[in-house]
Structure 1
Amino acid sequence: MPSHKINIVIVDDHPIVIEGLKIMLKNQPLFHISQTFNKGSEVLGFIKSNEVDILLLDITLPDISGIQLCEDIKKISPKTSVIMFSNRSERSIIMQCIQNGASGYLLKNVSMDELMACFKGALSGNIVFCSETKEIISKPSQQELGALPRLTKREKEILRFLAQGKTSSQIADELCLSPLTVDTHRKNLLQKFGAKNSVEIVNIALKHNIISE
């Protein structure tokens, strides 16, 4: 545990989550929320010039996947303990976050006691999980860790169009959807596959015969 007051940064696009955390930490004299951000891109510049002890990071952000952002943050500030804070409970996502340098993974229904214990554990150099996350990662998955995610029928349709090199607008026209809806499905596919871009998604899908060339 550092001897100074612990600086915490929160990255979450839901104001109610940020306000709830502020209330939870209000009476914790050792911890100070120094800044909050609604978009992932905003935090990168901040950590370049500010010392951050703990960064609570949501996975689903409007501009970038929190999984990728975690890796980017650790490259800039290796000493910062990045703790994922999400409603996503898939084992593969949890493990991908840890592989990308996260110091822990908490679900948003975590109790105050668990939150404090995880903060202290991360600051001591440990990888931390809330009790529910521990239960998720302790159960063997149906396949190995590299198991492929389950896709909805709509996601499979969009994946096939991505493999054809179609844009979101073109896919939207084909499926009679709005481009925004297609973009949402595309973001979900990025997260499910732990991929950085659509090309990587398609390559994984082709490799595992989810779609054919």
Structure 2
Amino acid sequence: MCNKDIITLAIVDDHPMILEGLKSLFQGYSKYQIFLFTRGEAILDFINENRVDVVLLDIILNDGNGLDFCKSIKQKSKDTVVLGISNQEERSIIFRFLENGGNGYILKNADSKEIVDCVERAIVGELALSKKVQEIMLTQLSHSLELPRLTKREKQVLQAVSNGHTSAEIADMLFISVITVETHRRNLLQKFKAKNMFELVKIATENKLI
């Protein structure tokens, strides 16, 4: 792949500012041909008809979970390099992304040079982790439960779940789609290593997170 003159780069994120920022960053390098997508299903459809060398993939998308989309992309095109780019810092999520075939993981607070460097490393076959992700991965898990960091939205969803609201009700309350709520619920289960929502709420309550 590294011998090609042009590298096809697909960026998948449902935040226009993130898309435009990453597009502007990589437009500074003439070898990248850039395509932007706001939905995971759209990149899957695109890959059916086009060669894609690199995908920068957000983890939480309006139409589903980036962890699952990573796996689907790899099933369709095993040679496509897939890098997670996200605010999600949990080791369990990073591990699962890599287990699903991801070639690396970048936190969105990484600087421009680090993002480009990670893409360049992944293209030549290296596992590309941003510096902060490397630190997270090297952190030894304690024997006690490692309480996850939650985003503001995840806290809102967790609180709503603990109050007995359904996904549809939570979607209406937070002005987001039911699919997005379900994605947050799956990520919360993954973060807390809980088997179901009852166990999740129990763990969160015991640790005074709600």
Partner of 1:192: 188
CA shift for structure 1 position 3: 2.5
Deviations 1:38-67 (A, max 9, x none): 111111110011111100000110011111
Uncovered stretches (5+) of structure 2, i.e. residues with no partner: 203-210
Matches within 5 A, 1:67-78: 67-78=67-78
Preserved CA contact (<8 Å) 2:89 2:107: yes
Q: What is the count of residue pairs matched by the alignment? A: 194
Partner secondary structure for residue 178 of structure 1: helix
CA distance in 2, matches of 1:128, 1:180: 35
Partner of 2:206: none
Partner of 1:26: 27
Deviations 1:61-109 (A, max 9, x none): 0011111110011000110000001111111111110011110000112
CA distance in 1, matches of 2:39, 2:79: 22
Q: TM-score, normalised by structure 2?
A: 0.77
CA distance in 2, matches of 1:103, 1:112: 19
1:4 aligns with 2:18: no
Partner of 1:205: 196
Greater gyration radius: 1
CA distance in 2, matches of 1:104, 1:88: 14
Partner secondary structure for residue 196 of structure 2: helix
Deviations 1:161-186 (A, max 9, x none): 5xxxx9534xx3xx9x7385794554
CA distance in 1, matches of 2:25, 2:116: 10
**In angstroms, what is the RMSD of aligned CA positions?**
3.2
Partner secondary structure for residue 32 of structure 1: strand
CA shift for structure 1 position 147: 6.8
Partner of 2:42: 42
Give me the identity figure in percent.
Answer: 31
CA distance in 1, matches of 2:39, 2:157: 27
Preserved CA contact (<8 Å) 1:82 1:102: yes
Uncovered stretches (5+) of structure 1, i.e. residues with no partner: 196-200
Whichever residue aligns with residue 29 of structure 2, its letter is: Q
CA 1:205–1:143: 2 relative to 1, 3 Å? farther
CA distance in 2, matches of 1:42, 1:16: 19
Q: TM-score, normalised by structure 1?
A: 0.76
